[in-house]
C-alpha cells in the first residue's frame, strides 16, 4: 500500500509486519519531547503513566487515553482503517501504536470499540462499522438471566483472540517504554449489549432480583477477558461501567454494582480505570468505595469539584464534542490548563474521540501538557 504505512505482505509474521509499520511512523513523540528540556533524566512514557497511576512523582503530567483516540485522518495517514483494525491483530496494534508515535500519548490502547468484542463472542450480532463509524450491537439476545451462556471457549473466539494478540504484539515491540491500556466492559455495561438498554433499565425497577442475578453471571466475562489481557501484557485496563447520570439514579450503584466492582481489580490483577460517562459528581462518593485505582471522567463535571470529592486517581476530562471535535488548538490548550490547574492526575479526552475530530486537536492535548510543564506553572497541589 503506497498512500499509507500499512505493510500488506502476508509472508511476514505479525511481529515483523508491526515492526515495518513502526519504522514508517513519523516519531512525533520524540520530536515533541525535545520541547521539554530540563537537564533531568526523562522518564519513559510507561514509567510516567504507571507513576501517575500510583500517585508517585512524575517528570511531567502523564497523557494517557483509556478509550479510543483514533480519527478518520489518523486512519488515512496510516492507510489502516476500521473495521479491519478491529479484526486484524497487526492492524489493530499498528493503529494503537500511532497514538504514541504520531500523537505523543504515554500509552497505547488497542481496543477501540466499546464492549463489542465481548458481545460478539457471547453471540450478539455486531455491525463493525467503517472508517467513519464505530462498531455497534445490532440487537439484544437475551431477556432473562437463565438464558445467559458464556461459552467455555469464549477466550478463543476470534473477536477476543484478535485484541489479545494485538496486546502481545505491542508488549513485545514497545512494552518496556510505552504503557498499554486494555479494556473490558463490566457486567452493567455488558447487560446493555446483551439485554438491550431499555429492557435492562426497566428491569431495575420491575425485577431487581433478576438484575442482580444477571450482573453476578456477566461479571465472569470481564474477569476472564481482563485476566487474559493482563497475561498478554496490558499494564492497566479501562473498566466500562455505564451507570450513567442521565440513565439511572446514583443509589443504583450501591444497590446493584458496588460489591461486584469491589472485587474486580483483585480478580483481574491490574489497576482498573473505572469509566462512567456523563455527570457523575452525584455518585462519585459511591464510586470511591469500589477499590479501583482510577476514574476516567467527563467534562460535564467541573474538574476542581471532582478533585475535591474523588478519592481515586483522576483521568480525563477534556471535552470531545465542543473542544476536540469542533474547537481550536487554543480551546484544547485552555481545557488542558484548567484540568491541570485542578490537579487532574492524568490528562486525556473524556471518552472515545469522535472519528471526525481533527487529529491536530488530539495531538494538541499532549502539546498543551508539555507547554504547561515547560512554563513551570504550579499545579494546585
Ligand atoms: Zn464514555
Assign residue 341 the CATH number of its domain: 3.20.20.210
Instruction: Output the nine-digit C-alpha cell for 285.
Output: 462518593
Q: How far apart are CA 300 and CA 330, in angstroms?
A: 20
Per cent of the chain over pLDDT 90 is 87
Domain of 172, in residue numbers: 14-374
**Is the pLDDT at 35 greater than 50, yes or no?**
no
CA of 298 to the centre of ligand 1 (A): 8
CA of 334 to the centre of ligand 1 (A): 22
Predicted confidence band at 381 (pLDDT cuts at 50, 70, 90)? very low
pLDDT of residue 123: 97
Dihedral sign for Cα 10, 13, 15, 19, please. negative
Q: Beta 126-127 vs 136-137: how paired, if at all?
A: antiparallel
CA of 69 to the centre of ligand 1 (A): 12
CA of 91 to the centre of ligand 1 (A): 24
**Helix 187-195 vs helix 208-232: crossing angle, to nearest 10:** 110
**Helix 14-24 vs helix 89-101: crossing angle, to nearest 10:** 30
Question: How confident is the prediction for the chain on average, in pLDDT?
Answer: 92
Q: How far apart are CA 110 and CA 178, in angstroms?
A: 13
CA of 51 to the centre of ligand 1 (A): 24
CA of 242 to the centre of ligand 1 (A): 7
CA of 349 to the centre of ligand 1 (A): 10
pLDDT of residue 5: 52
CA of 60 to the centre of ligand 1 (A): 26
Alpha helices in 5-138 (DSSP H): 14-24, 28-33, 45-53, 72-78, 84-87, 89-101, 116-122
Q: Are the CB atoms for 296 and 277 separated by under 8 Å? A: no
**Is the pLDDT at 259 greater than 50, yes or no?**
yes
CA of 252 to the centre of ligand 1 (A): 18
294 within domain boundaries:
yes
CA of 277 to the centre of ligand 1 (A): 4
- Each residue's pLDDT tens digit, 298-310: 999 999 999 999 9
Q: Are the CB atoms for 315 and 297 separated by under 8 Å? A: yes
CA of 351 to the centre of ligand 1 (A): 4
**Is the pLDDT at 36 greater than 80, yes or no?**
no
238 within domain boundaries:
yes
CA of 264 to the centre of ligand 1 (A): 19
Lowest mean pLDDT among 1-15, 283-297, 352-366: 1-15
Predicted confidence band at 38 (pLDDT cuts at 50, 70, 90)? very low
> What is the DSSP code (8-state) at residue 254?
I
Q: How far apart are CA 151 and CA 139, in angstroms?
A: 19
CA of 338 to the centre of ligand 1 (A): 20
9 within domain boundaries:
no
5 within domain boundaries:
no
Per cent of the chain over pLDDT 70 is 89
Task: Give me the phi and psi of 276, to 5 degrees please.
Answer: -135, 125
40 Rama sector, left if φ>0, alpha if ψ -120 to 50, beta otherwise = beta
8 within domain boundaries:
no
> Which residues face 236 on adjacent strands?
181
CA of 115 to the centre of ligand 1 (A): 12
CA of 352 to the centre of ligand 1 (A): 7
User: How many domains, the chain?
Assistant: 1
The overall longest dimension of the chain from CA atoms, in Å, is: 63
CA of 154 to the centre of ligand 1 (A): 25
Predicted confidence band at 9 (pLDDT cuts at 50, 70, 90)? low
Predicted confidence band at 11 (pLDDT cuts at 50, 70, 90)? low
- Each residue's pLDDT tens digit, 158-189: 999 999 999 999 999 999 999 999 999 999 99
CA of 302 to the centre of ligand 1 (A): 16
Amino acid at each position: 500500500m503506497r498512500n499509507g504505512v500499512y505493510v500488506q505482505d502476508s509472508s511476514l509474521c505479525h511481529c515483523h509486519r508491526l515492526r515495518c509499520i513502526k519504522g514508517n511512523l513519523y516519531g512525533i513523540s520524540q520530536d515533541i519531547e525535545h520541547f521539554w528540556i530540563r537537564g533531568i533524566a526523562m522518564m519513559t512514557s510507561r514509567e510516567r503513566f504507571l507513576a501517575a497511576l500510583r500517585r508517585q512523582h512524575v517528570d511531567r503530567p502523564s497523557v494517557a487515553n483509556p478509550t479510543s483516540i483514533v480519527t478518520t485522518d489518523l486512519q488515512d495517514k496510516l492507510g489502516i482503517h476500521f473495521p479491519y483494525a478491529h479484526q486484524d491483530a497487526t492492524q489493530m496494534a499498528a493503529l494503537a501504536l500511532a497514538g504514541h508515535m504520531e500523537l505523543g500519548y504515554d500509552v497505547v490502547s488497542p481496543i477501540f470499540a466499546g464492549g463489542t468484542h465481548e458481545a460478539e463472542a457471547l453471540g450478539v450480532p455486531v455491525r463493525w462499522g467503517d472508517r467513519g463509524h464505530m462498531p455497534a450491537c445490532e440487537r439484544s439476545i437475551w431477556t432473562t438471566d437463565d438464558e445467559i451462556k458464556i461459552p467455555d471457549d469464549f477466550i478463543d473466539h476470534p473477536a477476543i483472540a484478535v485484541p489479545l494478540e494485538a496486546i502481545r504484539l505491542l508488549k513485545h515491540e514497545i512494552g518496556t517504554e510505552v504503557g498499554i491500556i486494555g479494556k473490558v466492559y463490566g457486567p452493567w455495561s455488558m447487560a446493555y449489549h446483551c439485554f438491550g438498554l431499555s429492557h435492562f433499565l426497566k428491569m431495575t425497577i420491575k425485577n431487581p432480583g433478576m438484575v442482580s442475578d444477571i450482573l453476578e453471571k456477566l461479571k465472569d466475562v470481564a474477569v476472564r477477558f481482563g485476566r487474559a489481557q493482563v497475561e498478554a501484557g496490558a499494564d492497566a485496563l479501562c473498566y466500562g461501567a455505564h451507570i450513567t447520570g442521565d440513565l439511572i439514579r446514583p443509589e443504583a450503584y450501591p444497590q446493584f454494582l458496588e460489591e461486584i466492582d469491589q472485587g474486580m481489580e483483585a480478580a483481574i490483577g491490574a489497576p482498573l480505570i473505572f469509566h462512567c460517562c456523563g455527570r457523575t459528581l452525584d455518585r462519585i462518593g459511591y464510586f470511591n468505595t469500589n477499590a479501583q485505582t482510577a476514574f476516567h471522567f467527563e467534562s460535564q463535571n467541573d474538574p476542581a469539584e471532582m478533585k475535591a470529592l474523588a478519592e481515586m486517581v483522576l483521568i480525563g476530562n477534556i471535552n470531545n464534542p465542543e473542544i476536540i471535535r469542533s474547537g481550536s488548538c487554543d480551546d484544547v490548550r485552555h481545557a488542558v490548563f484548567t484540568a491541570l490547574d485542578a490537579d487532574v492526575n492524568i490528562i486525556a479526552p473524556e471518552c472515545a474521540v469522535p472519528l471526525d475530530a481533527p487529529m491536530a486537536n488530539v495531538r494538541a492535548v499532549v502539546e498543551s501538557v508539555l507547554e504547561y510543564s515547560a512554563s513551570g506553572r504550579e499545579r494546585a497541589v
